Structure 1
Amino acid sequence: MNKIIVGMLALVLVAVSVQAQQADARAAKRALAEYRLDPHASTAKLKKAIAAILPEPAGEDVSDPRFYILKGEIFNTLASQIVLVKQTGLGSLEELPQVDGVALKAFNALTTAVEKHAQSVNSPSYLLRDAMKGMQEAQGMLYNFGSYAFEALDYGSAYLHFSSGLACHEILKSQGEGSVLDDAYALMDQKYVTGMAALNNQMPEAAKPLLEELYQANYDNPAIYEGLYTVHANGEAANLDAAYRYLKTGREKYPQDASLLFAEINHFLKLSRLDELTDRLKTAINREPENQSLYLTLGSVYDNLYQRESSAGNSEQADKYFDQAFTYYSQSLEKDPTNFDALYSTGTLYYNRAASLTMTLSEMSGDFSAAGRGQFEALEAEVFAAFDKALPYFQKAEGINPNSVETLIALKEIYARINEPETSDALEERLEHLRNGGTNATSFFNK
C-alpha cells in the first residue's frame, strides 16, 4: 500500500512540474509577443519573458521540446537586441535584461530541444523545423558575441562562442538545413578564429586540429604557421624540429611577414644558433628601424659570438665580433640613451674583455725577461683601458637602477682594480644592503 501511495505522489509531482513549466512557457510566450509588438516602448516585457523562462524545469518526465525552443527564441531575441545596440549605438545595453552568455544559452536551449525531439516518438516534425530556424539565428549571434569577446581579449569566452558556432553548423547539416558556414571559405574562417581563440587562451590541444586542418587546406593566412609552431614547440610533447618545419614553410610562403620573422628569430635564440640569427635580425632592423630592442638583441648575438671565438683563441674573428657588438649596442643607445639594458650590456662587453685579458696577463706573469715584461705592461695597459671604457656605462646604468646587483658587483670590482678602495667599499656596502633584503632609494653616482 505504501508503495502505491509513493507512486501516486511521484505522479502528482511530475504533473505539477509539467503544469508549472507550461504556465512558465505561456507567460514567457505572451511577454515575448507583447515585446515584439513594440520593442522600443519598454524592455519590461522582455525581462518578464526571460524571468519566466530562466528556471530549469523540474522533474525527469519533462520532455516537451517546445519549452526549449521558446527558451532559445527568447535568448536569441535578447542577443539580437544587444548586437543592434552595439552596431548602431542606438539604445542602452544597461536597459536590456542582463544575462551572462546569452548567445550560448540560446544555442544550448535549442540543442536540448533537438535532443528532446529525437527522444520522443510523438514529437511533431514541425518542432524540429522550429528548432533549426532558431539554430540558424543563433549561428550569427554566436559569431558576433565571439568577436566581442575576442576584441576584449576574453579568449576563453571567444573560444566557447566560436566553437559553439561550429557545433551549430554540424547540427544544421545533420538535418539537411542551410548554414551560414556552407561556404567553404566562411567555414575555414570560422575554424581559424576558433583556433586562434584557443591558442590565445592557452588551449593548444583544442587549437591543434583546427590549425592542422587549415594548414592541409592551404589556408591563406601566415598566422596559422606561427600558431602551429607555438603548438608544437611548447608543452610536455614539445618537438622543436617539427615545430620549425611549420615556421620554415610559413617563412618561405610569406617572406615579408614580420611576425613569422620574429618567431624565427626567437626560435634560433632558444637554440643558441647564433650564426643564423645575424642576417635575420638585420632583416628585421631594415623593416623596423625604430625598434630599439632589435639593435640590442643583435648586439647581444655578436657579443656571444665574440666570447665564443675569444675562448677558442680566434682573436682576429673575435675582434670583428666585438666591434659589431659595440656598434649595435651603440645604435640601441642612440635610440634611447637611458636604456638600462643597453648601458649594462655595453659595460659588460668591455668588462668581459678586460677579464679575458687579465687571464692572459696572469699566464704571462712568470716571464721576467725584458721582452716578457714589455708585453706584460702593454697588455696590462689594455686591461685598464677596457675597465676605463666599461666604467661610465656601468655608472649610468647604476644611475637608472641603483638596485641592480650585477651592476654594483661590476662597479665594485672595477674600483678595486683601479685602486680606489674607498669607492669600492662604499659600493660593497650598498651591495650587502640589497643582499640583506633592503633597497637603495637613490643612486650612488647621482646623489
Structure 2
Amino acid sequence: MNKMILGMLALGLVVVSVQAQHADVRAAKRALAAYNLDPHASKERLHEAVAAILPDPIGEDVADPKYYILKGEILNTLANQIVTVKQTGLGSIEELPQVDGVALKAFNALTTAVEKHAQAVNSPGYLLRDAIKGIQEAQAHLYNFGVYAFEAQDYGSAYLHFSSGLAAHEILKKEGQESVLDDAFAMMDQKYVTGLAALNNHMTEAAKPLFEELYQANFDNPAIYEALYTVHASGEDADMEIAYRYLKAGREKYPGEVSLLFAEINHFLKQNRLDELIDKLKTAITREPNNPALYLTLGGVYDNLYQRESASGNSDRASNYFDQAFNYYNQSLEKDPTNFDALYSTGTLYYNRAATLTMALSELSSDSSQAGMEKYEAMEAEVFAAFDNALPYFQKAERVNPNSVETLIALKEIYARYNEPETSNALNERLENLQHGGTNETSFFHGF
C-alpha cells in the first residue's frame, strides 16, 4: 500500500515538472503590461515576461498566432532595451534577461505567427497586422545584433542575423508593407554585410550569389571584387581564371585601391608568375614606402628569379637578380632591423649561393692540374665568403627567434664547415630539443 502511494506521488511530480516547461501566456501578458507602464522601475517584470513566454506553448496556444505575436513582442522589447544600453551606455545588460539570439528568436516567433494566421480559419486580420508590425521592428534589431556579432568576430551568428533581415524584407514585401530595405542602397549594403559575414565564416557558397548580385548592380565598393576573387578561388570547384577576371576588373575600376593591389600580388605569388610581380610590388612600395613586408616580398621574388636563372646556368642574369634580392631584403631590414623573416631570408640568400658553388666545387675536385687546383681554391674561397656573409644574418635571426628549426640547421652546418665541432654540436643539441617538443628559452647567440 505504501509503495503504491509513493509511486503515485512520484508520477505526480513528473507531471508537474513537465507542465512547468510550458509557456504561461496570461502571466507573460500581465508582466509585459506592467513593464510597459514603467520600464525603468520594473525590470523584474520584463524578467517575468521573458521567463513566462520562452517555454514551449501547450494546447490551443500551439496553433494560436496570438501566442507567437506576444512572444515576438516580448523579445523585441528585450532586444530594444539591449540596443538602448549599448548605444547610450546607460544601465547594464547584465540586469536584463539573458536570451541567446534574442533578435532571431523574436523574428522566428513573428514569422511563425504569420504562418499560423494563414493556416487558421477566419483568423482576424488585426493579428496579421500585429505580426507584420513586429517583423518590421525585429528587422532593425536583426541588423543591430548582426553588427554586434560581426564586431565580436562571431561571423556565423552575424550571417544568421543579416540573412534573416533579408528574409524579413521578403515577408514584408509579400504582405505589401514597408521595409527598411526598400531603399536601394540600404538593400545593397545589407547584401554586402551578409556576404561578408558568410565569407568570413568560410561559407563561400552562401557568399557567392550575394556578391555576384552586387557586382551586377555595379555597387560602388572595391571589396566586392576581392570577395568575388576569394569565393571563385576557393574550394574544390576553384576556377582561378574566373577569380582573376573579377580581380582584374576591380583593379581597373579602382586602380588606387591598395587592398586589391595586394590581392593581385598574392594571386601572382600563388601562380608563381614572378616576372609580372615586380612592377606590381614596386607600385605597392610607392603607395606604402614604410611597409617592410613589401620590400621583403620583392626581395623574395628576386631571390626566386636568382635561383631559377642560376639553375639554368645564366650567370649574368642570376648575379643581377641576386643583387636585387639583397637590395630589397636590406631595405626591409632598414625599416625593421629585427624582422626575423628578412634576417633569415638574407642569410638564406647567401647560404644558397654557397650551396650552388659547392656543387660546382665538387666537379672541379677531379681536375688535379695546376689550373684546376687554382680554380678549385678560388671557388672554395667564394664558398666560404658566402658562408661568412650568411652567418651574421643567421645569428641575428637566432637571437630574434631561438626556436627556428631552419635557422639552427643552417647555423649547425656553417659551423661544421668551419670545422668548429663544439659550436656545431651545441647548436645540434638545441635543434634536437626542438625536434623532441622542447623550447629554447634563451638565444645561443644572445651575447654575441
Question: In structure 1, what residue type is equivalent to 2:207?
Answer: A
Question: In structure 1, what residue type is equivalent to 2:446?
Answer: N
Residues 1-22 of structure 1, C-alpha deviations (whole Å, 9 max, x = no match): xxxxxxxxxxxx9xxx9xx86x
Task: Decide which moves more: 32-41 or 171-180.
Answer: 32-41
Question: In structure 2, what residue type is equivalent to 1:337?
Answer: P
Matched residue, 2:162: 162
Matched residue, 2:151: 151
Shift in Å, 1:426: 3.5
Matched residue, 2:339: 339
Question: In structure 2, what residue type is equivalent to 1:348?
Answer: T
Matched residue, 1:380: 380
Residues 283-334 of structure 1, C-alpha deviations (whole Å, 9 max, x = no match): 2222222222222111111111000011111111111110111011111211
After TM superposition, the structure 1 = structure 2 runs for residues 321-360 of structure 1, keeping only pairs within 5 Å, are: 321-360=321-360
The answer on whether the counterparts of 2:34 and 2:42 sit within 8 Å (CA) in structure 1 is: no
Distance 2:369 2:151 in 1: 75
Question: In structure 1, what residue type is equivalent to 2:186?
Answer: A
After TM superposition, the structure 1 = structure 2 runs for residues 258-337 of structure 1, keeping only pairs within 5 Å, are: 258-337=258-337
Matched residue, 2:78: 78
Matched residue, 1:64: 64
Task: Decide which moves more: 124-133 or 88-97.
Answer: 88-97
Distance 1:348 1:342 in 2: 10
Distance 1:353 1:252 in 2: 40
Shift in Å, 1:358: 1.8
Any idea what SS the aligned residue of 1:179 has?
Answer: coil
Task: Decide which moves more: 393-402 or 55-64.
Answer: 55-64
Distance 1:143 1:231 in 2: 24
Task: Decide which moves more: 387-396 or 163-172.
Answer: 387-396
The answer on whether the counterparts of 2:32 and 2:49 sit within 8 Å (CA) in structure 1 is: yes
Shift in Å, 1:120: 1.0
Distance 2:60 2:269 in 1: 60
Shift in Å, 1:60: 7.6
Residues 140-191 of structure 1, C-alpha deviations (whole Å, 9 max, x = no match): 1111111111112111111111111100000011111111111111111111
The answer on whether the counterparts of 2:196 and 2:207 sit within 8 Å (CA) in structure 1 is: yes
Q: So what's the TM-score if we normalise by structure 2?
A: 0.90
Matched residue, 2:29: 29
Distance 1:208 1:190 in 2: 15
Matched residue, 1:135: 135
Matched residue, 1:249: 249
Distance 2:27 2:60 in 1: 22
Distance 1:373 1:406 in 2: 34
Distance 2:422 2:310 in 1: 33
Distance 1:332 1:119 in 2: 69
C-alpha spacing 1:41/1:437, structure 2 compared with 1 (3 Å): closer
Residues 63-105 of structure 1, C-alpha deviations (whole Å, 9 max, x = no match): 1211111111111111111111111222222222222111111
After TM superposition, the structure 1 = structure 2 runs for residues 181-220 of structure 1, keeping only pairs within 5 Å, are: 181-220=181-220
C-alpha spacing 1:323/1:50, structure 2 compared with 1 (3 Å): same
List 4+ stretches of structure 1 deviating above 6 A: none
C-alpha spacing 1:384/1:165, structure 2 compared with 1 (3 Å): same
Q: So what's the TM-score if we normalise by structure 1?
A: 0.91
Question: In structure 1, what residue type is equivalent to 2:25?
Answer: A
C-alpha spacing 1:437/1:128, structure 2 compared with 1 (3 Å): closer
Any idea what SS the aligned residue of 2:62 has?
Answer: coil
Distance 1:368 1:299 in 2: 39
**What 5-or-longer segments of structure 2 have no aligned partner?**
1-14
Shift in Å, 1:436: 4.3
Task: Decide which moves more: 210-219 or 415-424.
Answer: 415-424
Shift in Å, 1:59: 4.1
Any idea what SS the aligned residue of 1:193 has?
Answer: helix
Distance 2:304 2:28 in 1: 71
C-alpha spacing 1:71/1:325, structure 2 compared with 1 (3 Å): same
Structure 1 vs Structure 2 CA RMSD: 2.0
Any idea what SS the aligned residue of 1:62 has?
Answer: helix
Distance 2:176 2:438 in 1: 71
Task: Decide which moves more: 429-438 or 36-45.
Answer: 429-438
Question: In structure 1, what residue type is equivalent to 2:376?
Answer: F
Distance 1:379 1:298 in 2: 29
Distance 1:40 1:435 in 2: 62
Distance 2:198 2:91 in 1: 33
Task: Decide which moves more: 365-374 or 116-125.
Answer: 365-374
Distance 2:238 2:392 in 1: 44
Task: Decide which moves more: 50-59 or 421-430.
Answer: 421-430
Distance 1:381 1:317 in 2: 22
C-alpha spacing 1:154/1:428, structure 2 compared with 1 (3 Å): closer
Shift in Å, 1:243: 1.1
